[in-house]
Amino acid sequence: MAKNIVTFENLSKLPIIHGFSWGREAENMSEGFDDPSIIQGRVANFLNSLNISSNLPIVRISPDNVSFHDPDILELSKEILKRKLSDAGEIEVGANAIFTKEKDIVLTVKPADCAICIVYAETQEGEIYIGLIHCSAWTTDKLLPLNAIEYLLKVKLTNRAKIKIGITPAISQDFFYVSKKDINLSNWGGFLKEEDGKIFIDIVGNVTKQLKEAGVPENNIETSLVDTFAHAMEGNTFSHRLSRDENFPEGRYIVAVKLK
């Protein structure tokens, strides 16, 4: 594995390929901050390092850059391939949780401070789904992690004992605050603290709680407790909050998953 790519141990023996870019040699992966043709090359190199063909269709969660209205949770079929490509050659979807059972589609998302759940699930008949859940402060406040897993369990009839999840780095509670009007405080019990009139929230803690409440066994959840804000200060990644507050360079890393 390339040294600028991180994977999860609990997903490593499953019939999937996954990983996220990280470290000083992992460059910005978002065309919002670099030329799209350069980004296309970087993403291709990243995927090739994971032994994923960069010629496969790449579907990306992009809630801020779409002109159509997807639901919060979207199952992708080959119909998605009819959509227009972005300047970086990707198919953008506005849903914040995407799942597929198609082997020839690569699921991606390009976060900075938000936690991403990489999801593996099996039905009782052995059908496999993979997915990504984009866990921002606001999607977490809307209980998206809980609802996305309940979708897999109740709609796709997956086996809760076989659901496995890796949670990527996110901004720590020490550095992330919101206004009271931005969240439902009752959804953050045990995962918020108030200091100097600011509400500091623990996104990863709340996400993990929701996953367990939905029925995912605790031992099936692997969490990276790396803080994007602190690591961005060291040059290992990007943090939108750090860029906004301290004038550090903007950028995004990339998370990808594909069925073998």
**Residue range 95-110, pLDDT digits in tens:** 999 999 999 999 999 9
pLDDT for 3: 64
Q: State pLDDT tens for residues 64-93.
A: 655 455 678 999 999 998 888 888 789 999
pLDDT for 34: 86
Look up the domain containing 106 and give its range.
5-259
Q: What is the CATH number of the domain that holds 87?
A: 3.60.140.10
Using N-to-C axis directions, what is the helix angle for 203-214 and 144-154, rounded to 10°?
20
Would you say the pTM of this structure is higher than 0.85? yes
For range 126-154, the mean pLDDT? 97
Q: What are 178's strand-pairing partners?
A: 199
- Total number of domains constituting the chain: 1
What string of DSSP letters covers 49-97? HTT--TTS-EEEE-TTS-SS---SEEEE-GGGGGSPP-TTS-EEE--SE
Encoding tokens for residue 134? 């984009």
pLDDT for 108: 98
Among 6-10, 108-112, 226-230, whose mean pLDDT is lowest? 226-230
